[in-house]
Amino acid sequence: MTPDAEAKMQFLFALRSKGVMDKRVLEAMEKIDRGVFVTGVFSERAYEDMPLPIACGQTISQPSVVGLMTQALDVDPRHKVLEIGTGSGYQAAVLSQLARRVYTVDRHKRLVTQAQEAFDTLQLTNITAFSSDGTRGLSDQAPFDRILVTAAAEDPPSPLLNQLKIGGIMVVPVGQSDAVQALIKVTRLETGFSYDELRQVRFVPLIEGMGPE
């Protein structure tokens, strides 16, 4: 086996051993090459189950966390999904394999440009990436079947709750940015919202307003 094939096998093994069991999620993560989303000095570590630095002081999430969040989101091929926090674009690319359409936004223009290049390389045509402040959601395209927030909020932002369909699910890390946060699954019911705490996670903060670049 080539070193590359072995690294990729270990990558899938790590996902399974951390609890990513959903067959469609595993297939999507096998198909989307994380190496395309990690550049520069860290590229040789793309298949390790580790978060890694990307531009603008941000991070590409740990693959097993991407897998667990995607699994919790329970995406269906008919779904329209919104992701807040494009970052490298890796999570959006994984979602693109499971959903009809993915909208993803980041407050850093530079990250959106780089992510778009990766989407083009992989010919992922059902992702629309914008630079905008995700705390406001994306009212033009609302409502969404699923919303995934990949930055830590002190509370789930109310515009995002409002842009969720009835029966829709949002997965969001909630807590102070300098501490461990709780990953919360919010389901919109006819009469309100139900909240389930899934596990502890650590994400960079959700910051209101646009980034400097």
Active site residues: 61
Asked whether the beta carbons of 180 and 202 are under 8 A apart, the reply is yes
Binding residue for ligand SAH, selected from 62, 88, 96, 97, defined by CB under 6 A: 88
CB of 203 to ligand SAH, least distance (A): 7
Q: Distance between CA 95 and CA 105 in Å, rounded?
A: 14
Which residues are bridge partners to 182 per DSSP? 174, 200
Binding residue for ligand SAH, selected from 32, 61, 95, 103, defined by CB under 6 A: 61
Spatial strand order of the sheet with 192-201 comes to 127-131, 101-106, 80-84, 144-149, 164-174, 181-189, 192-201
Q: Which stretch binds ligand SAH (CB under 6 A): 13-21, 27-35, 131-139, 167-175?
A: 131-139
Q: Which stretch binds ligand SAH (CB under 6 A): 16-24, 42-50, 68-76, 87-95?
A: 87-95
DSSP assignment of 91-147: HHHHHHTTSSEEEEEES-HHHHHHHHHHHHHTT--SEEEEES-GGG--GGG--EEEE
Q: Which stretch binds ligand SAH (CB under 6 A): 8-16, 24-32, 56-64, 172-180?
A: 56-64
Binding residue for ligand SAH, selected from 11, 90, 119, 144, defined by CB under 6 A: 90
Binding of residue 25 to ligand SAH (CB under 6 A): no
Q: Distance between CA 82 and CA 84 in Å, rounded?
A: 7
Name residues contacting ligand SAH, limited to 168-207 (CB under 6 A). Answer: 204, 206-207
Interface with ligand SAH by CB under 6 A: which residues? 58-61, 84-85, 87-88, 90-91, 105-108, 111, 133-135, 150-151, 204, 206-208, 211
